[in-house]
Amino acid sequence: MMKFKRLVCTLTAVLCVWAAGAQNDAQLSVDESIYNFGAVSESDGAVTHVFVLKNTGKAPLAITRVTASCGCTRPEYPQEPIAPGKTGELKITFDPAGHPGLFYKTISVYSNGKRGSYSLAIKGEVKPKVLQPVLTYPYSIGGLKLHTKTILFNAVRPSEVSSERIDILNDTQTPLSVCLGKPSDYFTTEVTPAALQPGQKGEIIIKLSEKAADRKGRVTAELPVIVAVAGQKEITGQIQLAANLIDNFSKLSATEKAQAPEASLSSTILEFGQLSAKEKSIIPLVGGKVTVAFDITNTGKSPLLIYSVTSDDLRLDISGGKRELKPGASTTIKVTLRSKDVKTRMESLVNIVCNDPNGPVRLIKVTAYR
């Protein structure tokens, strides 16, 4: 009986010591567990909320670490212990960039408090940023913005209806009018509407004319664009147009294709290398010009017709070469570069249009640098 009483007294003492120790623990409480940012604009940048941390225990509360479920959520927490009855701030910054739509991010707070860890959360909805006109319309002619100033009809067969569009925008605070000049007989153009109010969008339509159906090879032109604002001087810009006009191979039989011509190029890259007037080079250098060459060979079974060998880069001159090659025959094309016009790095193209049904349009890359 005495042993039992001693055991009861011992257990009672232990419980009292434990209870006293528990009452002296640090304890974390937070003013709210979830914060709703509501609608957040992606274009406005980061948003911040402060959670209030309170030590409701009897011992100093030390925040050991705070983690977030996403790298877009950055916590800043007290580095010094929070005294009993005092508060500290947990600052949460959320970056909405690249996170459109609803979001829910969790934050875990670790401390020496009784609970060990404490979970919080932020939520809301990110409204996507609206693309600025400069991103959609990177080119300008006066106050008129354009999404491109270059149009290419890559491979157009006879009688094929083909058109391209350029999106335009009046980026001024006043009305403006747009007038198109005549590019060439191979293209027809129109602008709609011809008068644009501030912020109004329109389009320029480019089509191949009927005359283009009778032509083979690459044709190019400049489309003058005249922009006028009342009381101001007209501003004129240019849109570059190009079209590769090819044969209609769609009706060739398998036998006809097997007997067709075939264009083989000696190279698809022409490298002028580093340009220097003082540099001794195996490339001929005369009057600030350098020249390289490539060969075209007909490895097919019928005559190869070379309709055009051109470049849209005005620094390149193309010369030489035959325009019809019998099976097995070759021709040499010279490409001359006005080196004085190359200021930094240059990458251009030589365009070849021929009657090879397996490759009517061929490209050769041309490079040079200072």
Residue 4 has a pLDDT of 46
Confidence of residue 280 (pLDDT cuts 50, 70, 90): very low
Return the CATH number of 26-127, one of 2.160.10.10, 2.70.98.10, 3.30.70.580, 2.60.40.10: 2.60.40.10
Alpha carbon 196 to its chain's center: 28
Helix (H) or strand (E) holding 136: helix 133-136
Kindly tell me if the per-residue pLDDT of 305 is higher than 90: yes
Q: Classify residue 61 by its DSSP letter.
A: B
- Could you tell me which of 226, 219, 242, 191 has the C-alpha nearest to residue 308? 219
Question: Are 156 and 162 a contacting pair, CB within 8 Å?
Answer: yes
Residue 14 has a pLDDT of 41
Q: What residues contact residue 271 under an 8 Å CB cut-off, 6+ apart?
A: 292, 367, 368
Confidence of residue 212 (pLDDT cuts 50, 70, 90): confident
Mean pLDDT of the region 67-71: 87
Residue 262 has a pLDDT of 96
Residue 133 has a pLDDT of 61
Q: Quick one: what percent of the chain has pLDDT higher than 90?
A: 71
The C-alpha atoms of residue 317 and residue 220 are separated, in whole angstroms, by 15
Kindly tell me if the per-residue pLDDT of 286 is higher than 80: no
Residue type for 75, please? Answer: P
Residue 278 has a pLDDT of 54
Dump pLDDT digits (tens) for 165-182: 999 999 999 999 999 999
Confidence of residue 277 (pLDDT cuts 50, 70, 90): low
Structure tokens that stand for 320 in this block: 């030489």
Mean pLDDT of the chain: 88
Confidence of residue 24 (pLDDT cuts 50, 70, 90): low
The neighbouring-strand residues paired with 330 are: 297
Q: Tell me whether domains 133-245 and 254-369 share a fold.
A: yes
- Could you tell me which of 217, 211, 214 has the C-alpha nearest to residue 355? 217
- Could you tell me which of 33, 90, 32, 85 has the C-alpha nearest to residue 54? 85
Dump pLDDT digits (tens) for 214-267: 889 999 999 999 999 988 999 999 999 999 999 999 889 999 999 999 999 999
Question: Does 254-369 carry CATH code 2.60.40.10?
Answer: yes
First to last CA, the chain: 105
- Give backbone dihedrals phi and psi of 50, rounded to 5 degrees, phi first: -115, 120
Structure tokens that stand for 66 in this block: 């705070």
For 133-245, CATH gives 2.60.40.10
Full DSSP string of 1-14: -HHHHHHHHHHHHH
Question: Are 225 and 134 a contacting pair, CB within 8 Å?
Answer: no
Q: Quick one: what percent of the chain has pLDDT higher than 70?
A: 89
The C-alpha atoms of residue 8 and residue 50 are separated, in whole angstroms, by 50
Structure tokens that stand for 299 in this block: 């490895």
Residue 23 has a pLDDT of 52
Residue 168 has a pLDDT of 97
Min mean pLDDT across 99-108, 131-140, 305-314 is at 131-140
Residue 282 has a pLDDT of 45
Question: Are 193 and 180 a contacting pair, CB within 8 Å?
Answer: no
Residue 344 has a pLDDT of 87
Structure tokens that stand for 2 in this block: 């005495």
Dump pLDDT digits (tens) for 352-367: 999 999 999 999 999 9
Residue 288 has a pLDDT of 73
List the domain boundaries for the chain: 26-127, 133-245, 254-369
- Could you tell me which of 318, 307, 343 has the C-alpha nearest to residue 156? 307
The C-alpha atoms of residue 325 and residue 265 are separated, in whole angstroms, by 13
